[in-house]
Structure 1
Amino acid sequence: MPMSMIRRAALIVCLAAFSPGATAQSESYESGADAFAAGDYDTAMAQWRPLAEEGNAAAQYNLGLVFANGFGVMRNAGTAREWYRKSAEQGYARAQHNLGVLLQNGETGEPDYTAAARWYREAAEQGEAAAQNNLAMLYVQGLGVEEDRARAARLAAEAARQDNESARRNLPRLLEGLPAATIKGSKVNVRTGPGTDHDKLLQTDKGAQVHILATEGEWKEIIFTDGYAIGWIAEFLLDTEGED
């Protein structure tokens, strides 16, 4: 994949949803959210900082957002990183993603792709689409991880199925580097794993376009060009030469 395709990773810029907790905390958080929406960043900070210092992951993420983007304060990537880290270490996926972005882009020093990949992976495993896409791009380039286009495709496909626009743009060109094939038969069962003992994922017909991600015995893991579903199919049901 050409480097020109890999865009600078972008922060998620939206407030956290407040985690259920004490009523007083909830009221303070919501007051801060209302003030933030109205552009009153000083009040938002005054409401969120005590919660963040008490360990509330949502408030910590929001403070990271404020300092990363300079909402009512001087932009300070170092302070943003520390608040994001506190939230990320509590498992908050958006904070994990944004911390990864700061590390990948070298916002507070040299780019640290290994650390960025770690935090993207944590968020991706929770289903955060932006992190799935960014981690996929690191796998394409072999930055912080071993280069693995098939793994990149799996991640980007998962993000694309969540309507992540960056993943939808990246996937077609990413798939160009993987072996292409077409489905031979009609009403072909695609399985969740390599073998007929695995559940049927979907049924497809002759001529469907796919790319091959992996091989296990006489089975191939495939990704569909249209819709990006991923499953397993018997090798004899694939035409890799484009012949009938």
Structure 2
Amino acid sequence: MTNKSMHTLASLLFACILFALSIASAQAGPLNDGLHAFKAGDYQQAMAYWKPLAEKHNPDALYNIGLLYMKGLGVKKDYRAAKHWFKQAAKYGSVDAAYNLGVMYKKRRFGYPSSKDALYWWRQAAERGHPESQFNLGVMLVYGNGTGKDVPAALKLWQQAARQGNANAIHTLAQVYEKGLFGIPADPAKAAYWEKRAKQTARR
């Protein structure tokens, strides 16, 4: 594998923090009212709608409050406060919160990098079908970052993420099978399949 290929795949690990608000558990009521307030730029009002729900352990509200602290919207930016809310959200079922925790640990948002903490949170989300976490966990495993190397497990995770349309996973699989990376034999047929999928994904 060339240094360029290693850099390309490694850089994909640092996927963007998810900023999308969560409204999965309700399309009406306080959660949605908070969304409207957020879109109007009234972040303190959004917090006022979400806080009572968060106190009742609503994972979407907990996650959304974490985003407010992470981005400093209506409150002072505070990564440790964001971590608190994301951990609560993850505890009550938010896979997006678990994913964001992994990225924040990996990107030193708490003053130190922690591959093991990133690995823990991405594994939690990946096991529940979160494609970005599946991709990132695969990269950790293929490089042995914070854990032992496990190329077959990484390949399986990338395939799971790719089947859900994750562009990073699709692109990576195309490269892996085209160039025979990480000890995986080159396979022109599989490379062509994933390259076709990559083009289809790019057109969406």
Report TM bin, short chain: 0.7 to 0.9
Residue type of the partner of 1:209? A
Question: Alpha-carbon deviation of 1:129?
Answer: 0.7
RMSD: 2.3
Answer yes or no: is the 8 Å Cα contact 2:62–2:85 preserved in 1: yes
Q: Which has the higher strand share?
A: 1
1:106 aligned residue: 108
CA distance in 1, matches of 2:145, 2:7: 12
TM-score by length of 1: 0.68
Equivalent residues in 2 for 1:18-33, closer than 5 Å: 18-19=24-25, 27-33=29-35
1:2 aligned residue: 6
Q: Which has the higher helix share?
A: 2
Decide which of 193, 199, 202 is 1:226's aligned counterpart: 193
Question: Alpha-carbon deviation of 1:227?
Answer: 4.2
Percent identity of equivalent pairs? 33
Question: Alpha-carbon deviation of 1:64?
Answer: 0.9
2:20 aligned residue: 14
Equivalent residues in 2 for 1:44-59, closer than 5 Å: 44-59=46-61
* Cα deviation 1:25-45 (Å, max 9, x = unaligned): x62111101111222211101
Equivalent residues in 2 for 1:16-95, closer than 5 Å: 16-19=22-25, 27-95=29-97
Question: Alpha-carbon deviation of 1:3?
Answer: 3.7
Larger Rg: 1
CA distance in 1, matches of 2:186, 2:35: 50
Question: Alpha-carbon deviation of 1:63?
Answer: 0.8
Question: Alpha-carbon deviation of 1:65?
Answer: 1.2
Answer yes or no: is the 8 Å Cα contact 1:58–1:87 preserved in 2: yes
Provide the secondary structure at the position in 2 that maps to 1:226.
Answer: helix
Answer yes or no: is the 8 Å Cα contact 2:90–2:97 preserved in 1: yes
Gaps in structure 2 of 5+ consecutive residues: 196-204
1:209 aligned residue: 189
1:180 aligned residue: 185
Which structure has more relative contact order (CA 8 Å, sep 6+)? It is 2
Equivalent residues in 2 for 1:148-187, closer than 5 Å: 148-175=150-177, 176-177=180-181, 178-180=183-185
Greater than 3 Å deviation, 4+ residue runs: none
